[in-house]
């Protein structure tokens, strides 16, 4: 007997994301691996005071047209709608873009808090939460603002800083295919932060291009084992 | 004739530094151009921190796949032997010293090789991305940048005033005017752009430059 993880729509899958929740959102930068339909569903659902954990803060629809001809939606919409209290990530705003992404505007107005984390440290902090570890020592950030307030340790003559685990209440994930148990495979660089985030949340919600019967995915190539996945929505491309 | 190198030419000069068989990561912006400028006869494996090793070059419009992008959000082409992995595995590769060379952009580089490449006045919300991890973990850090700011101020300075990415990490600086090696004894001017003198380059550089014994015009 197995639990039914299949949801008919993204709206139903994100319905219980509560005010003040910590939400991880997969993807890397502007596109490829962003769970765009789950992000839009969360925007429509309206939960507020969210802590959003993602690599990048999104450029918003207007600026996106500079990168991709027809434009696209990203995390920017959650900032535009005033749903985010705090952002944790490595690229809140892109230095190569004008300073009017939604997150940068709100940050400059003092309406959103930012915790800046080097990208590899972000991935590893999430992996620590996923794997039940209390943190790790890294040389990344030594001699920079990142070391401020953190424990330092010299190991074999090299300086390290202690970084702590980072988990979440919900993770919004994009995968290529899921079977109905929740085993996941990804497509090309759309993998990025998705597998590690999928393992680090109390409730992991995934949108997939294709849902397939159990047994159809080659067990040798499954990237995310089904125990990490709680809800699946198929959004055919 | 006196001229400054344009960005593709700076990238072309940087690509000459990639040894046959090396693993190279290209940072955001200008460094990305290196992917299409590898010297003939060499194989380079490009690593991208979003989780890819061994891609081809930048994709032309007709072949763009937005699920196969480099770290600058540009679609790239596939190549035989390429592979994909997640962000955590990608940064193991980077921190663990498995990337031979990284090419990064910069706002400032100091005479000690300190790098400042992610934050600047008036833009407190821009982030470091993977720059700190790459600067700390890659075997060799090459910086490509314009020699001076838009206002003509030096970017190669005694001490960085912008937020640091990492201390004493840069090995080589390639600008529109010069190629400069960072050594334990300071900055060595190795190559200069056609038509420029050592004095002119020095006047646009805050840190002291030591002309190399074999100083020459930038070779492409």
Looking at residue B41, the DSSP 8-state letter turns out to be T
Instruction: Collect all residues of chain B within an 8 Å Cβ-Cβ radius of residue A141.
Output: 132, 136
Where does B7-217 sit in CATH, by number? 3.40.1080.10
Tell me what pLDDT residue A1 has: 54
Instruction: Collect all residues of chain A within an 8 Å Cβ-Cβ radius of residue B125.
Output: 57, 92-93, 99, 103-104, 107-108, 114
Active-site residues of B: which are they?
Answer: 49
Mean pLDDT of A165-185: 98
Instruction: Collect all residues of chain B within an 8 Å Cβ-Cβ radius of residue A30.
Output: 73
Q: Do B67 and A124 touch (CB under 8 A)?
A: no
Mean pLDDT of A138-150: 97
Tell me what pLDDT residue A70 has: 85
Tell me what pLDDT residue B195 has: 95
- Among the listed residues A222, A168, A237, the one whose alpha carbon sits nearest the alpha carbon of residue A191: A222
Interatomic CA distance for residues A96 and A82, integer angstroms: 24
Tell me what pLDDT residue B158 has: 98
- For residue B163, how many other CB atoms are within 10 A of its CB? 20
For the cut 80, the answer to whether the pLDDT of residue A30 exceeds it is: no
- Among the listed residues A119, A137, A42, A120, the one whose alpha carbon sits nearest the alpha carbon of residue A83: A42
The residues near B47 (Cβ < 8 Å, ≥ 6 apart) are B23, B24, B25, B53, B90, B93, B94, B99
Interatomic CA distance for residues A65 and A98, integer angstroms: 12
If you count residue pairs, one on A and one on B, with CB atoms under 8 Å apart, how many are there? 162
What are A26's strand-pairing partners? none
Distance between A54 CA and the closest CA of chain B, angstroms: 11
Q: Which residue has the tokens 């039940």?
A: A132
Compute CA distances A23 → A29, A51, A203, B89, B114, whole Å: 17, 6, 10, 22, 35
Q: Domain extents for chain A?
A: 6-133+166-234
- Most B-contacting residue of A93, A98, A118, A145 (CB-CB within 10 A), to test interface: A118
The residues near B84 (Cβ < 8 Å, ≥ 6 apart) are A186, A188, A189, A191, B51, B52
Q: Which residue has the tokens 């590690």?
A: A196
Interface subset of A 180-219, CB within 8 angstroms of B = 186-196
For the cut 70, the answer to whether the pLDDT of residue A169 exceeds it is: yes
Interatomic CA distance for residues A64 and A98, integer angstroms: 11
Q: Which of the residue ranges A62-71, A168-177, B50-59 would you say has the lowest mean pLDDT?
A: A62-71
Interatomic CA distance for residues A94 and A90, integer angstroms: 10
- Interface check for B57 against chain A (CB to CB < 8 A): the answer is no
Q: What is the pLDDT along chain B (220 residues), one digit of tens a residue?
A: 788 999 999 999 999 999 999 999 999 989 999 999 999 999 999 999 999 999 999 999 889 999 999 998 899 999 999 999 999 999 999 999 999 999 999 999 999 999 999 999 899 999 999 999 999 999 999 999 999 999 999 999 999 999 999 999 999 999 999 999 999 899 999 999 999 999 999 999 999 999 999 999 998 7
Q: Domain extents for chain B?
A: 7-217
Interface subset of B 122-141, CB within 8 angstroms of A = 122-133, 136-137
Say which of A92, A126, A187 has its CB closest to residue B67: A187
Structure tokens at A44: 């429509």
Say which of B51, B123, B133 has its CB closest to residue A192: B51
For the cut 90, the answer to whether the pLDDT of residue A29 exceeds it is: no
Provide the pLDDT confidence category of residue A66 given band limits of 50, 70 and 90: confident
Predicted model pTM? 0.97
Compute CA distances B22 → B15, B16, B71, B142, whole Å: 11, 12, 18, 14
Where does A6-133+166-234 sit in CATH, by number? 3.40.1080.10
- Interface check for A127 against chain B (CB to CB < 8 A): the answer is yes
Residue A81: how many CA atoms within 13 Å on its side-chain side?
A: 18
For the cut 80, the answer to whether the pLDDT of residue A222 exceeds it is: yes
Q: Report the DSSP pairing between strands A152-155 and A158-163.
A: antiparallel
Compute CA distances A127 → A33, A123, A196, B170, whole Å: 18, 6, 6, 29
Tell me what pLDDT residue A178 has: 98
Mean pLDDT of A86-104: 94
Interatomic CA distance for residues B113 and B73, integer angstroms: 28
Tell me what pLDDT residue B81 has: 97
Whether the CB-CB separation of B88 and B50 falls below 8 Å is answered with no
Residue A176 Ramachandran class (φ > 0 left, ψ -120 to 50 alpha, else beta): alpha
- Most A-contacting residue of B28, B56, B67 (CB-CB within 10 A), to test interface: B67
Q: Do B69 and A91 touch (CB under 8 A)?
A: no
- Among the listed residues B9, B18, B89, B20, the one whose alpha carbon sits nearest the alpha carbon of residue B48: B89
Collapsed DSSP state (helix, strand, coil) of residue A98: coil
pLDDT tens by residue, A176-221: 999 999 999 999 999 999 999 999 999 999 999 999 999 999 999 9
Which one is predicted more confidently, A62 or B111? B111
């Amino acid at each position: 007997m197995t639990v039914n993880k299949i949801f008919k729509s993204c709206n139903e899958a994100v319905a219980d994301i509560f005010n003040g929740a910590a939400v991880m959102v997969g993807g890397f930068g502007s596109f490829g691996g962003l769970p765009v339909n789950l992000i839009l569903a969360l925007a429509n659902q309206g939960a507020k005071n969210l802590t959003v954990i993602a690599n990048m803060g999104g450029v918003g629809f207007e600026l996106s047209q500079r990168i991709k001809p027809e434009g696209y939606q990203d995390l920017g919409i959650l900032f535009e709608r005033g749903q985010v209290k705090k952002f944790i990530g490595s690229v809140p705003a892109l230095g190569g873009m004008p300073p009017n992404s939604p997150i940068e505007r709100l940050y400059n107005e003092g309406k959103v808090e930012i915790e800046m984390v080097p990208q590899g440290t972000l991935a590893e902090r999430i992996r620590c939460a996923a794997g039940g570890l209390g943190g790790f020592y890294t040389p990344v950030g030594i001699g920079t603002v990142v070391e401020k307030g953190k424990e330092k340790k010299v190991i074999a003559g090299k300086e390290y800083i202690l970084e702590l685990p980072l988990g979440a209440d919900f993770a919004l994930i994009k995968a290529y295919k899921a079977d109905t148990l929740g085993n996941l495979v990804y497509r090309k660089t759309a993998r990025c932060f998705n597998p590690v985030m999928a393992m680090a949340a109390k409730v992991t919600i995934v949108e997939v291009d294709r849902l397939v019967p159990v047994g159809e995915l080659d067990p040798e190539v499954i990237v995310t084992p089904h125990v990490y996945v709680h809800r699946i929505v198929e959004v055919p491309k | 004739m006196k001229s400054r190198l344009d960005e593709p030419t700076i990238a072309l000069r940087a690509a000459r530094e990639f040894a046959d068989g090396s693993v190279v990561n290209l940072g955001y912006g200008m460094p990305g151009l290196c992917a299409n400028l590898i010297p003939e006869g060499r194989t380079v494996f490009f690593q991208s921190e979003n989780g890819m090793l061994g891609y081809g070059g930048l994709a032309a419009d007709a072949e763009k796949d937005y699920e196969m992008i480099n770290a600058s959000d540009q679609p790239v082409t596939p190549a035989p032997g390429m592979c994909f992995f997640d962000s955590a595995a990608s940064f193991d590769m980077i921190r663990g010293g498995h990337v031979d060379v990284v090419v990064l952009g910069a706002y400032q580089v100091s005479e000690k090789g300190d790098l400042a490449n992610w934050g600047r006045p008036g833009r407190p919300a821009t982030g470091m991305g993977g720059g700190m991890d790459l600067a700390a973990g890659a075997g060799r850090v090459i910086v490509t940048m314009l020699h001076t700011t838009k206002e003509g101020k030096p970017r190669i300075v005694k001490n960085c005033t912008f937020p640091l990415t990492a201390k004493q990490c840069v090995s080589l600086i390639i600008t529109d005017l010069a190629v400069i090696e960072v050594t334990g004894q300071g900055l060595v001017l190795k190559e200069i752009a056609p038509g420029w003198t050592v004095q002119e380059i020095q006047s646009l550089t805050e840190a002291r430059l030591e002309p190399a014994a074999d100083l020459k015009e930038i070779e492409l």
